[in-house]
Amino acid sequence: MDVLYFAWVRERIGLPKEKVETRAETVRDLVAELSARDPRYGAAFADLSALRVALDQDLSDFDASLEGVCEVAFFPPMTGG
């Protein structure tokens, strides 16, 4: 699946996107797998309350299933004005 990182998440990890082979069943499982890879991921995912996630461009939550998902995007909350 494609995993995309935006704003400070991208800056902490050092990548805008990557292809990930995973056996994770949920977004939370994917975050745990990624966090175990390298301290950069751990730093980016340290506080999930400061992150949002979209699955195939639809806003979702961290307990959502990854079954059939092609794209996961992580980004900080947006504010409008």
Please write the tens of the pLDDT for every residue from 15-44: 999 999 999 999 999 999 999 999 999 999
- Binning pLDDT at 50, 70 and 90, where does residue 7 land? very high
pTM above 0.95, yes or no: no
Q: What is the bridge-based pairing of β-strands 71-75 and 2-5?
A: parallel
